[in-house]
């Protein structure tokens, strides 16, 4: 049962990404954010994209994935990539400062450790940022999305009221730009 639930989440997550890819092919000047679960996914659009265009994008993404375009499931701005980036950058900085602590034979952080360790920490974080995207994309493709929809079926696409979290993401993704309206959608699946 757990394996089936995880498979549904991964397939819905892939369809969410595919929908964003299709929207990006046909529209500019918008941002999108979503989250998936075993019932489908929520899609938040920040920009001037009609409800009809969102419906068409979901259906086109579904059709293209069913026809073998499984690579649409992977998206470079997925939370998996962002989480991988944050984790590797944090570990790189921590390792740099730990090395400087050891070099100075100190047991706790002080200004000397911070000042002397900062150049190495910056270099280590830059390296982590460079390698994190391909690693995060690999982890996404292997563990958090599935491009083969199998028996997954679309059951509904409906516009819903944006949540408080959706409004928060609007500020983060658009810098609070009021010219990019927020719309939210609930896409349900089964199978």
pLDDT for res 169: 86
Please state the φ and ψ torsions of residue 46, each to the nearest 5 degrees: -120, 90
pLDDT per residue over 137-165, tens digit each?
999 999 999 999 999 999 999 999 999 88
Q: At what angle do helices 111-139 and 79-104 cross, to 10 degrees?
A: 150
On the question of pLDDT at 180 being above 90, the answer is no
Query: CA distances (Å), 13 to each of 35, 36, 79, 143, 148, in order?
Result: 7, 5, 11, 11, 11
Contact 169, 44 (CB under 8 A): yes
pLDDT per residue over 4-33, tens digit each?
999 999 999 999 999 999 999 999 999 999
pLDDT per residue over 68-111, tens digit each?
999 999 999 999 999 999 999 999 999 999 999 999 999 999 99
On the question of pLDDT at 175 being above 90, the answer is no
The residue count for the chain: 191
Among candidate residues 46, 27, 77, the one with its CA nearest the CA of residue 180: 46
Contact 65, 91 (CB under 8 A): no
pLDDT for res 128: 98
Count Cα atoms within 13 angstroms, Cβ side, for 21: 21
pLDDT per residue over 119-129, tens digit each?
999 999 999 99
pLDDT for res 174: 86
**What average pLDDT does this structure show over 163-177?**
86
Contact 125, 92 (CB under 8 A): yes
All CATH 3.30.980.10 domain ranges of the chain, comma separated, are: 2-75+146-190
Higher-scoring residue by pLDDT: 136, 172: 136
The CATH-assigned architecture of domain 2-75+146-190 is 2-Layer Sandwich (3.30)
pLDDT for res 96: 97
In angstroms, the CA 169 to CA 159 distance is: 17
Residues near 70 by Cβ (< 8 Å), separated by ≥ 6? 14, 147, 148
pLDDT per residue over 29-49, tens digit each?
999 999 999 999 999 999 999
Specify the pTM: 0.91
The secondary structure of residue 161, as a DSSP letter, is P
On the question of pLDDT at 172 being above 90, the answer is no
Residues near 55 by Cβ (< 8 Å), separated by ≥ 6? 157
Q: At what angle do helices 51-66 and 2-26 cross, to 10 degrees?
A: 120
Helix (H, G, I), strand (E, B) or coil at 6: helix
Confidence of residue 177 (pLDDT cuts 50, 70, 90): confident
pLDDT for res 156: 98
């Amino acid at each position: 049962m757990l394996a089936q639930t995880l498979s549904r989440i991964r397939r819905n997550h892939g369809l969410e990404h595919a929908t964003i890819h299709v929207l990006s092919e046909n529209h500019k000047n918008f941002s999108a954010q979503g989250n998936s679960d075993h019932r489908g996914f929520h899609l938040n659009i920040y920009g001037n994209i009609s409800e009809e265009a969102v419906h068409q994008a979901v259906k086109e993404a579904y059709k293209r994935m069913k026809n073998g375009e499984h690579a649409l499931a992977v998206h470079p701005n997925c939370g998996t990539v962002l989480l991988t980036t944050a984790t590797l950058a944090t570990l790189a900085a921590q390792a740099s400062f730990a090395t400087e602590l050891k070099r100075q034979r100190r047991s706790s952080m002080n200004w000397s450790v911070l000042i002397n360790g900062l150049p190495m920490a910056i270099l280590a974080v830059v390296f982590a940022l460079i390698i994190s995207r391909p690693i995060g994309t690999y982890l996404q493709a292997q563990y958090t999305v599935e491009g083969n929809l199998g028996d997954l079926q679309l059951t509904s696409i409906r516009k819903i009221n944006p949540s408080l979290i959706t409004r928060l993401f609007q500020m983060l993704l658009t810098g609070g730009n009021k010219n990019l309206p927020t719309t939210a959608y609930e896409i349900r699946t089964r199978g």
